[in-house]
Structure formats: C-alpha cells, structure tokens
Amino acid sequence: MPDAADPAAMTARRKFRREGEERRRQDLIEATLDSVAEHGLQGASLRTIALRAGVTAGLIRHYFPGKEELLQEAYTALVGRMTEQAKAALAVEDASPRQRLAAFVAANLNAPIVDARVFSLWATFLGRANADPTLARAHREGYLGFRNEVEAVVAEVLAAERRKPDESELRRHAIAINAIIDGLWIEGCLAAEMFSPGELAAIGIKAIEAELGLAPEKQFRET
C-alpha cells in the first residue's frame, strides 16, 4: 500500500477527486436538462433535479450556489455541445476549405443537432433569457462562440478564392450564415418528416454559397 505521505499517491488521489467531482457536475447538468425537458423551467426544482440525479438537494448546493447558476450551466452545456458537434465535422481529411464549410453546414442541419428535444430545451431556456441576466449572458456567449467558428471557416474559404475580406465583411457574412442555419435548423427540428434526408443541408449549403458569392463548382456538387 502506498505511503500516505507519498507525493505520487497524493497527486493520484487529488486527480481522482477532481475527475469524480467533474463527473458529478456533469451528471447534475444532465439531470437538469432532463428535468427541464420534462417539467419546464419552473417545474425543474432542485428537488426534482436531485431525484433525477439520485442525490440530495443539499449535495447540489455543494457544486452550484443555486438553481439559477445550475440552469445557466445547463444551457451553456447544451449550446456548447451543439457547437462542438458541428466543429467536429471540420476535421475532414484532405478536404478543401469549401468542402469543410459544406461539412460544417451539413452537421448543423442533421441529427443529432437537428432534434426535437434539443430544440425544445433551447427554446425553453431562450424564452426566459430576457428576464434572466444569467441565461442572457450564457446565450450571448454561445451565440458569439458559434459565430466566431463561422467567421474562421468563411475566412479560409475566401482566402482559397484569393479574396481578402476585412473584419466587418467577415462579421456580416457570419451573421447572415448563422441566420440561414438557424432558420433551417428550426424547420428541421419542428417538422423533420417534411424533408427528405439531406434536403435542408443542401438548401443551406446553396444559400450560404450564394451569400459568399461562390461560383458553382461541379466537382464540389458531386461530393
């Protein structure tokens, strides 16, 4: 058995404790999202969340000062997860910037991001943002984080086209592209059965190509 004073053993215990506490925080966030999905923001009390997570309400307060902070973390996690899922699509080997953009758009307009439960949660949180500064801040940070990702991809695409947009042009493109994706995403979440597989992604890619002034590319269309 390792000596209690062994530095290596103490470091291992601290690491295990940190990992355990982070896992518990994530479990509480997931329980919060489940509770909000089932009961709404008002019905998702600390007691309801604690029951869902299999812990006591007192333990929740060990990790979060109160319900508002827990809701903020849950909304941040929801939006952040969507952004990370879309960013993962950018890791396409041997792809051109334009193909990477198409993959990014397609990821945003297909499952698991296009999902009725995800939309319901997003809309529930957003509906309270005007009256809740913590949720408003989380929404703003999530929006700007996603828009920054869009700007970075657009900058690569336009550089490949030998175009040098300034910051204001990149910003305008990112705002427009975010609006295109959001609109199609909402349609897909609310009425997925009305669209054929890949239809929303194809519409989104075409609209965004037009926004960026990209000429049709036969090889790109076939991939």
**CATH 1.10.357.10 residue window(s) in the chain:** 68-222
CATH 1.10.10.60 range(s) for the chain read 1-64
Quickly state the pLDDT bin for 189 (edges 50, 70, 90): very high
Cis preceding-peptide flag for 112 (omega within 30 of 0): yes
Burial of 27 (0-12, 13-18, 19+ CB in 10 A): middle
Residue 218: what pLDDT?
61
Q: Cβ atoms within 10 A of the Cβ of 166, count?
A: 7
Q: 68-222 has which fold?
A: Tetracycline Repressor; domain 2 (1.10.357)
Q: pLDDT at position 155, please? A: 98
CA 213 to chain centre: 27
Cβ count near 164 (within 10 Å): 9
What pLDDT is stored for residue 2 in this prediction?
52
User: Closest by alpha carbon to 153, among 182, 179, 173?
Assistant: 173
CATH number 1.10.20.10 is the correct assignment for the domain at 1-64: no
Q: Which of 184, 195, 185, 103 is nearest to 149 (CA)?
A: 103
The pLDDT tens digits for 29-64 are 999 999 999 999 999 999 999 999 999 998 999 999
